[in-house]
Structure 1
C-alpha cells in the first residue's frame, strides 16, 4: 500500500512543478502581475447565443412586469377597501349625529332619499 501511495505522489508533484518558472522581468517591475496575451475576439459570442440570451431576458422582464402589476393591483385594492371603510364609518357617524336631533323614522327617510340621489347623480 505504501508503495502505491509513493508512486502517485511524485507524479502529481511533477505535474505541478512542470510549469516554467518565471525569471526576472526585463523591465525590472517584478511587483506587477504578469500580463496575458491580447485576444480581442475572446469575449465575443455567436449570434445564436446572443439571440437566446435576449429571448431569456425578455421572458424574465415580462415575468417581473407581471409580478409588479399584480403587486400594484393588490396594493390599490387594499387602499380602495380602506377608503370605502372610512367613508362608510363617516356616513354612519353623520347619521348618528342627525338621529340625536331628529326622530328615527325621519332619519331613515333621509337615508333612502340620499341613496336615491346618489344613484341618480352617479
Structure 2
C-alpha cells in the first residue's frame, strides 16, 4: 500500500494520516466568508434590538408580578398583626371602646397619607 492509497483510504474512512484522531477537522481559511453588507448588518442589529426590548419588557412584567405578590403577602401579615393586636385589646377593654379606637386610628392613618 502506497502513501497515496493511505491518503485516499483515510479521506474515505475519516481516519487521519498522522494518527491524531482527537484533533477536529480544520476548515479552509476563508477570511471573506464572514463579511456581510451594511444593510444586512443593520437589519440583524434591528432584529436583535427588538428581541432585547421584548426580553426586557417580559422581565419587567415578571418582576412587577413578583412585587405584587410580595406586597400582597406583606399586606396580609400587617392585617393579621393588627387583628391580633385588637383582639388583645378586646381582652382588656370593652368591645365598643376597641371599635372607637380602631376608627380613630383609621382616621389618623388617612390624615397621615
Pick the TM interval, shorter chain: 0.7 to 0.9
Q: Tell me the distance in 2 between the aligned counterparts of 1:35 and 1:92.
A: 74
TM-score between the two structures when normalised by the length of structure 2: 0.76
Task: Say which one has the larger Rg.
Answer: 1
**Structure 1 gaps, min length 5:** 1-20, 24-28
Aligned residue among 48, 72, 82 for 1:81? 72
- TM superposition shift of 1:97: 0.4
- Residues 44, 117 of structure 1: alpha-carbon distance in 2 compared, 3 angstrom cutoff: same
Q: Tell me the distance in 2 between the aligned counterparts of 1:34 and 1:84.
A: 63
Q: Tell me the distance in 1 between the aligned counterparts of 2:27 and 2:69.
A: 59
**Structure 2 gaps, min length 5:** 9-15
Q: Which has the higher contact order (CA 8 A, sep 6+)?
A: 2
TM-score between the two structures when normalised by the length of structure 1: 0.71
What is the root-mean-square deviation of aligned Cα atoms in Å? Answer: 2.2
